[in-house]
Structure formats: C-alpha cells, structure tokens
Structure 1
Amino acid sequence: MGPAAAGLLTAGVGPGWVFLINAVTFGAMVYVLLAIRSSELRAQPKAPPGRGRIRAGFRYVLNRPDLIVVMLAIFIVGTFGLNFAVYIAAMARTEFGQGAGVFGILSSVMAVGSVAGALLSARRARPRLRFIFGASAAFGLACAAAAVAPTLWIFGLTLVPVGLFALTLMTSANAYVQTTTEPGMRGRVMALYFAIFLGGTPLGAPVVGWVSDAFGPRWSLGVAAAAGLIAAAVGIFWAWRYHDVRLRYDRSVPRRLRIGGAVGDGY
C-alpha cells in the first residue's frame, strides 16, 4: 500500500513533499519499537559464545544446496530485476513522454499487483521452492510483456502482474529461508540473505540505467525479464540435478543424519 499512496501523492503534491511525508512516517515505527513489551516476548535459543560464528553461518549455508540456490535466484532478480524506479521512470518519461504524475500513477498500479501478491502469499500454509522459481519465471515473462507494451495504458496493465510476481518471489523466498533454518543459525543466515538481497539492487541499478540510456528503456525491462528467467532456470536445473532428493525438516532427527544439517520441505 505504501507505493500506491506515494504514487498518488507524487501526482497530487509533487515528489518533494512525498519525501518529507515519508520521513515523518518513520516516527510511527520508532513509537512501535519503544512500545514493545519485552516481558511478553518468547526467548529464542542463542548461539554459543566464541569465535568463528560468522564462519559457522557460511558453512551452514554451504551445506544447504537449497538455500544456496534460493539466495542465488534472489541475487539475480534483486540485482537486475527489482529496479522498478529506474525502468518505470524511463518508460514514463522517455518512451511515453510523461512526467512525475504519470510515474506516480504507474507506481500505484504496480502496487495493486504487489498487494495481491502479498495476500496470496499469506494464504499458503508453507513456502515451497516451486513458488519461488515459478514466480521468477512469471516475473520474467511479465517484464517481457511490459517491455513490448505499445501504449501507456497497456504498459500500466502489465505492471500489475510484475508487482504480483515480484512480491510473491520475495515473500516466498524470505519465508522459505526463515522457516527451514535451525533457530540457532537463523540470525546469521537471514543476515546473509538480506545482504545478498538488498545489496544487489544498488549494484544492478547503474547497469540497468546504463542499458536504458544506451539502448532505450524497453531494453532495461528486457534486463529484468532476463533476470527472472535466468533465476527460474537456475531453480529448474537444481530441481533436475537433485530431483531424487525429497527433504523434510525434523528437529527430532540427530543433526548428523540430516542432509546438509537442516532441510526444507521438498520442492
């Protein structure tokens, strides 16, 4: 809902005021954090103190091929596919000759798909790898459709599935990594996951911007489409390579008997 509100406000009062409003809204988050009743929180097991805990986190991930393939897919899509501000702005201004108002409306339209993706993800009982890589493929196809959209209206309509499948991919990957990781390792694994996910986008944005300047904004969307399809291909290859492995997570099984130390719930 945030991008939708920001898009409408951009069209109504201008981008400068939107930045100021956004700054004020962080006060609500600070209030919520201060209001948390720590006495009602449930304690989680902590990792034993000592050196080498970061290395242990890397070793844990390296022994989990399913986590590696998820993080690789997230890195590819996050770096080259989730640069919405770059290619929506370029399409609105360069391809269709519109200004900040239309950019805001297009962002709001894409937010409709994002909200739908969040609601659909919330209905699933548990995340599966098939949702992650299926959403990657669908995201790539939606970006390809947006790249060849002949008119502004059709381009706006294609942004709905772009937002839907992008959020489906992100929420499914996030939930899978969290729920299939041992509690004692979860903090380190999620730190690595978010470093890969959030750190890739600033690296890919200049590349996507350069493609837009050199070859046109439609080709920047082509980069996003390729990222989604390549991430899906990585998942398909992994599934084919390990098609005979069906993993289940069971804390009652000794760690040495699990495949990779901790496992997921199958493909």
Structure 2
Amino acid sequence: MTRGTGRPLLATSLRSLKVRNFRLFAAGQIASATGTWMMAVAQDWLVLELTGDSGGALATVTALQFTPVLLLTLYGGRLADRYDKRALLTGANIASGVLALALGLLVTADAARLWHVYVAAAGLGVANAVEVPARLSFITELVGPGLLPNASALSGAYFNVARVLGPSLAGLFIQWSGTGTVMLLNAVSYTATVAGLRAMRPAELYRAPRPDTPARVVEGLSHLRTRPDLLTTLALVAAVALFGLNLPLTLPLMARVVFHTEAASFGLLTAALAGGSLLAALVGTLRRTRPSARLVAASGCVFGAMELITGWAPNLPVALALLVPTGFASLYFVQAANHRIQLGGDPAHRGRVMALYTVILQGSTPLAALLALAGARGDVPVPASEEERVRPTGSRP
C-alpha cells in the first residue's frame, strides 16, 4: 500500500465493482437484503405478539421457512446448472415480493393469523430453494473466476450492511407503525433486485457452456465423491451449522425472554452480530487465492469459542459487545468455506455443489431450531426473578 494513503487498498477491495453487471447486481441486492432483514425481524416479532411469546411457534416458523431449503435446494441447483440463472433469480424475487406484500396487507388490515405467517414462511422457503444456489453460482458469471473471491466477499459485505440497517430500521418502524409496514417495505425492495437483473448485459456474462443433456443431481453428488477436499469442508460446515448457526431463532428469545426488552433492543442485538460480520466481509475482500483447509478449520473453532462465551452474557450491554466478535468469526468461517468450495469445484457442477452447500448451511436450521427449542425448556417465558434463564446458543450469518 502507498505510504500515507489507503487508496490502493480500497481499490483492491472494490475491484469487482468495476464490472457493470456486478454493480447492478450489488445495488439491487443491498436494497432487497435490507428489506429481507427488516422482514425477518417483523416476522419474528409478529409471531411473538400473536402467540404470547411462544418459543414453539417461533421454532415452527423457522422450520417451515428452512425445510423447503433442505428438501428442494438440490433441485434448485440442478435448475441453476441447466437454465438461465438471471431468469431464475428474477422469478424467485418476484415470488418473494408477492408473498411479503400479501402478508403485509393482512397485518395492516389486522386480519393476520398465525397460519398466515406459516404459509408465507413456507412459500419464502420454496423461493429461497431456487434463489440461493442460483445467486451463489451467478456471481462467477458476473465477474469471472479471477474476481470471484473479491466479489463473493463484497457480497458478504453488502449483505451484512443490510443486516446492520435492516434490524435497526425494523425496530424503529415496528414501534412507529407496526410490523405490517415493515413487510410492505420489504415487498417494495424486491423491485430493486428485479430491475438490476433485467438491466444487465447478457453478452458480458461469463457463462460456461450449458450441458447437452439435462443436469442431474446425482452427477453433482458423484463429482463430490472424487473430491475429498470438498467433502471435508462440507462436513465441517454441517457440524457448525447444526450446532452453532441458529441465532435467528435465539436472538428474539434472548431479547424478549432473557433480557425483557422491546423490538428496538432486538434490532440492536441483530445489528451487533451483523456489524462483526461486516468487518469479516471487508477483510475477505482482500482474499485472492483459495483458502486452505487449516484456515477453514481454525476459523470454525474460533467461532465456536466466541459463541460459547456470548451464550453466558449476563446482561444486554455485554451481549452486544460479545456479538460483534462472534459475528466476525461466524462470517469469516462461512466465507472461507464458501471460497474453498467454489474455487475448488468444476464450473459445470457449480450450481449443484453450491446447492448442497446451501442445503447443509441453511437446511440444518429446522434441526437446529428443535435443538434450540429443547434447550429453551418450553414456551413459557422465564420470569425475571428466576435464577436460571434461557441462554442463547449460536448465530447464523
């Protein structure tokens, strides 16, 4: 870096933004991801309001939203390897926007019931099963393999900017005008993603030749059997995701049941986690090569140690302080694993391999929700006077 200036380092960190298609993609994703995180806070808060702080209902919504990811994402990866990823992403974002709009209208009309939230969560899960593997594998088409680590890290950066902005804004909007307004804003945010996708220049995409025969899921799995380096990384991701990456479930319970706070404090907890993740994403923009297996394993161990310490936070200020390094460690691990898999796989199988990665990372959420619910010891809020309190157990970037 040139002495006295940070410009060369900044230019290195932002080099993927020189690609027009990626700039359009990133701009749309910032708006949409901010709305999505606002929606996540509003959805969880709505469930707690409708059920009298039921941890069981919250776990059910979480399971309904992520079970389609577990069951359908491999098929979504097959679609990503076979069809136009831009078209798949457009359709998935339109579907998600329609679901958010419908639920938001029900809430603002004071007609929302718990089963409406269940249906919307399941529908969003189906859309995500198509969107996530298409989006992860589409980044390579936007910038090419040479810029993939930087573009992927920038994607993590703007995603975590959204994680900071979204929950904070959601907490304010919920207090000002209710959860329905937040859901309607999320529905509008999807238009930015769709507009960015449709404004891209298809001729400038780095597309691999499409297979002459239909892409099959079993072929992607067979490819992994010949790659022990990828299998080992996926196994580690599975262990960390199942036992550690579940804060979307535990954070609202931590805010409302453990610390007895309102929506704004819940937003602060989520924002603290996201702030640490954002720092990790910015560090990741400097990566140029495929991470080693030792680096992936070490980052997973650090994350486990940090969330163990955070789980015993005695009060809200300490929890906020500890969630920052916990968020850093969680995203650093996830991105290192992501880059090791993407940069080590065959481009012809990338959609299906990243689909399996998504199944492991997100599809473990229903099982993690059940484990967290068992640890929470039921639906009844724990009184402030009791000596034993529910403790948080982890995070998901």
The answer to whether the aligner puts 1:176 opposite 2:340 as a matched pair is yes
Matched, 1:54 2:217: yes
Q: Is the 1:47–1:185 contact (alpha carbons within 8 Å) kept by the matching residues of 2?
A: no
1:114 to 277, 284, 290: 277
Secondary structure at the residue paired with 2:285? helix
Question: Which residue in 2 is equivalent to 1:96?
Answer: 259
* Correspondence 1:236-251 to 2 at 5 A: none
Matching residue's letter, 1:62:
R
1:164-215 alpha-carbon deviations (Å, 9 max, x no partner): 1111111111111111112222222122222222211133223212312358
Q: CA offsets per residue over residues 207-232 of structure 1, 9 Å max, x none? A: 212312358531x41xx49xxxxxxx
Query: Retained in 2: the 8 A contact 1:45–1:183?
Result: no
Are residue 38 (structure 1) and residue 198 (structure 2) matched? no
Q: Tell me the residue number matched to 2:157.
A: none
1:155 to partner: Cα distance: 0.9
- Paired with 2:276 and 2:214, the residues of 1 have a C-alpha distance of 46
Structure 1 length-normalised TM: 0.76
TM-superposition CA deviations, 1:68-113 (whole Å, max 9, x none) = 1211121222233221122212222222111211101111111110
Pair 1:150-2:314 in alignment: yes
SS of 1:66's partner is helix
- Paired with 1:28 and 1:94, the residues of 2 have a C-alpha distance of 36
Q: Which residue of 2 aligns with 1:124?
A: 287
Q: Which residue of 2 aligns with 1:13?
A: 173
Name the aligned partner's letter for residue 205 of structure 1.
A
Give the partner amino acid of 1:66. D
How far apart in 1 are the matches of 2:260 and 2:185? 27
Q: Could you tell me which amino acid in structure 2 is paired with residue 155 of structure 1?
A: A
Select 1:192's aligned residue among 356, 363, 369.
356
Quote the Cα distance in structure 2 between the aligned partners of 1:68 and 1:172. 15
Alignment pair present for 1:135 and 2:299: yes
What is the CA-CA distance between 1:49 and the residue it aligns to? 1.7
RMSD between aligned alpha carbons?
2.2
Matched residue, 2:331: 167
The CA distance in 1 between the partners of 2:212 and 2:294, in whole Å, is 35
2-structure distance, mates of 1:34, 1:89 = 36
Q: How far apart in 1 are the matches of 2:331 and 2:183?
A: 23
* Partner SS for 1:217: coil
Matched, 1:201 2:365: yes
CA drift of 1:48 comes to: 4.6
- In 2, Cα distance between equivalents of 1:155 and 1:40: 46
Q: Which runs of 5+ in 1 are unaligned?
A: 226-267
Mapped to 2, the partners of 1:206 and 1:158 lie a distance apart of: 25
Residues 132 and 22 of structure 1: CA distance in aligned 2, closer, same or farther (over 3 Å): farther
- Distance in 2, matches of 1:38 and 1:139, equals 39
Residue 124 of structure 1, CA deviation: 1.7
Amino acid at match of 1:67: L
Deviations 1:127-174 (A, max 9, x none): 222232122111111111111112211111110011111111111111
Separation (CA, whole Å) in 1 of partners of 2:337 and 2:293: 8
With over 3 angstroms needed to count, the CA separation of the structure-2 counterparts of 1:98 and 1:60, relative to structure 1, is same
Matched with 2:390 is: 217
CA distance in 2, matches of 1:95, 1:189: 39
| Cα distance, 1:19 vs structure 2 | 2.6
Q: Aligned residues, how many?
A: 222
